[in-house]
């Protein structure tokens, strides 16, 4: 599992000052905590984490001598400053379902005849920690060439035990459009 070192944030320290000093801020919350915990992380570590993983990814937070299983719940990123403004986590409690998102990633798009228009980049669902999805990978090499429209129901996530979809099944994930022919093809 992915690990991120964190420290409790002093309530006297302003987030703006911490960001200037090279830290990202955030919150850890969950039903097993009496109250949310304000956190700070090294900005570089947090940037590396979100560069490789998105919301919904399971992470182990190292907080002093504690290791806390959680998921990335929210990322607030300022693309102009290339800085994380906030990185929030939710604790995982065995057997307790949480509402979460799974990112959709396409692979082997080059083998598609035409162009792929992505309509949906993430799926919202509820699941217990044992049934969480890391990401949803759609491999165009394994799909039938006749497929032009692909919907949430085509992922067959409802067959995975313990996953309850929040995103409607009739939502379109992608559409494959015809590529415009060249002048040579038009003449023929």
Q: What is the pLDDT of residues 65-95, one digit of tens each?
A: 899 999 999 999 988 988 999 999 999 998 8
- 187 inside domain: no
For the domain that residue 87 is a member of, what is the CATH number?
2.40.240.10
Parallel, antiparallel or unpaired: strands 58-63 and 2-8 = parallel
Domain identity same for 58 and 113? no
Domain termination site, one of 76, 91, 106: 91
Q: How many domains does the chain have?
A: 2
**pLDDT attached to residue 181:** 57
Domain assignment of residue 119, yes or no: yes
Are 69 and 25 within one domain? yes
Contact present, 107 and 137 (Cβ < 8 Å): yes
Residue 185 has pLDDT above 70, yes or no: no
- Count CA atoms closer than 13 A to 47's CA, side-chain side: 12
- Bridge partners of 42? 23
Virtual CA dihedral for 140, 145, 147, 151, nearest 10 degrees?
-10
Among the listed residues 148, 142, 84, the one whose alpha carbon sits nearest the alpha carbon of residue 114: 148
Tell me the C-alpha distance between 51 and 76, whole Å: 13
Is 108 part of any domain? Answer: yes
Whether residue 16 is found in the same domain as residue 44: yes
Compute the distance between CA of residue 64 and CA of residue 115 in angstroms, rounded to an integer: 49
Of 60, 91, 122, the residue at which a domain comes to its end is 91
What is the arithmetic mean of pLDDT over 103-111?
92
* Residues across the chain: 188
Confidence of residue 186 (pLDDT cuts 50, 70, 90): very low
Region of residue 114 (left: phi > 0; alpha: psi -120 to 50; beta: else): left
Task: Kindly report the average pLDDT of the chain as a whole number.
Answer: 90
Report DSSP state, residue 180: P
Of 182 and 13, which is predicted with more confidence? 13
- Domain range holding 69? 2-91
Reported as a single tens digit per residue, the pLDDT across 16-29 is: 999 999 999 999 99
Asked if residues 125 and 164 have their Cβ atoms less than 8 Å apart, the reply is: yes
Chosen domain end from 59, 91, 123? 91
């Amino acid at each position: 599992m992915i690990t991120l070192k964190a420290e409790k944030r002093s309530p006297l320290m302003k987030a703006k000052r911490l960001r200037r000093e090279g830290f990202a801020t955030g919150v850890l919350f969950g039903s097993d905590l009496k109250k949310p915990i304000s956190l700070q992380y090294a900005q570089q570590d947090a940037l590396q984490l979100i560069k490789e993983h998105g919301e919904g990814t399971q992470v182990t937070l190292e907080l002093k001598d504690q290791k806390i299983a959680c998921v990335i719940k929210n990322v607030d990123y300022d693309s102009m400053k290339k800085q994380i403004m906030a990185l929030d986590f939710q604790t995982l409690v065995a057997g307790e379902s949480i509402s979460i998102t799974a990112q959709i990633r396409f692979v082997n798009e080059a083998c598609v005849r035409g162009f792929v228009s992505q309509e949906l980049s993430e799926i919202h669902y509820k699941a217990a920690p044992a049934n969480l999805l890391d990401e949803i990978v759609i491999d165009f090499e394994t799909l039938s060439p006749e497929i032009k429209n692909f919907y949430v129901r085509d992922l067959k996530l409802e067959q995975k035990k313990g996953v309850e979809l929040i995103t409607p099944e009739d939502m379109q994930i992608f559409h494959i459009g015809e590529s415009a022919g060249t002048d040579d093809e038009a003449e023929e």
